[in-house]
Chains A and B, each alone.
Chain A
Amino acid sequence: AQKVTQAQTEISVVEKEDVTLDCVYETRDTTYYLFWYKQPPSGELVFLIRRNSFDEQNEISGRYSWNFQKSTSSFNFTITASQVVDSAVYFCALSEGNTDKLIFGTGTRLQVFP
């Protein structure tokens, strides 16, 4: 069965620190897709990144970077030089190739203090 584990319930950092949010997934499929979403205090869900199982290249977008490792079934998210505006709940999610349903992790609440 599919499963997404975000073991870190809450992380607190001081502004400008780097922080990594962990995501470990389980699936039997060889084709699958991984996502990260951000949920700021206002409550909406904001799409951050999508990665398919055939693309293990790491990705960098500004201060955000993602490390996908199939060998450890992990898709970790790093924020470099964190800012107060990064404070949010971050969700990792998995979609198998033959379905359209997302399986979400329980989320990691990130608090960035000035």
Chain B
Amino acid sequence: NAGVTQTPKFRVLKTGQSMTLLCAQDMNHEYMYWYRQDPGMGLRLIHYSVGEGTTAKGEVPDGYNVSRLKKQNFLLGLESAAPSQTSVYFCASSYSRPAGRTQYFGPGTRLLVL
């Protein structure tokens, strides 16, 4: 099992460019999440999904969109990148049961917006 994988590992964008981050999991998890990690702020939830075809906003959703067309994939899109979106992005996944299920994280994507 590869677990949770993220593509790409590192990317540099210019302000206004768009890109999509891909998260894939092979653990048959129902729930998937996108977080961003900024220095001194821990991880903050951007969007999450409780199943194929569903998405919901987290704590910091502005400037991002997501899609979950397949159970194993969760895409994070930046339509018009801004320097404030420079961050490390982590994807995670978990089972839907039991409650309080453990989230398992991917290796992260470093994004630099110039």
Contacts and interface: CB of A to CB of B under 8 A. Distances in A.
Given A100-B94, A106-B40, A50 B108 contact: no
Interface in A57-101: 91, 93, 95, 97, 100-101
Given A31-B99, A93-B43, A105-B42, 10 more contacts: A4-B42, A35-B102, A47-B103, A100-B31, A100-B94, A100-B96, A101-B48, A102-B33, A102-B103, A104-B42
B63 interface: no
B99 A45 contact: no
Contacts of A52: 100
Interface residues of A, number: 24
Contact of A100 (B101, B106, B108): B101
Residue of B33, B42, B107 contacting most chain A CB atoms (<10 Å): B42
Residue of A52, A91, A105, A107 contacting most chain B CB atoms (<10 Å): A107
B49 to A, nearest CB: 10
Interface string A24-49: 00000001110101000001110100
Interface string B51-70: 00000001100000000000
A37 B94 CA distance: 15
A105 B38 CA distance: 12
Interface of B: 31, 33, 40-45, 48, 50, 58-59, 88, 90, 92, 94, 96, 99-108
A93 B105 CA distance: 14
Contacts of B45: 101-102
A4 B45 CA distance: 14
Contact of A47 (B40, B58, B90, B102): B102
Contacts of B102: 35, 47, 50
Contact of A44 (B31, B40, B50, B107): B107
Nearest to B44: A104
14 contacts: A32-B100, A43-B108, A44-B105, A44-B106, A45-B108, A47-B103, A93-B43, A100-B94, A101-B33, A101-B48, A101-B58, A101-B59, A106-B41, A106-B42
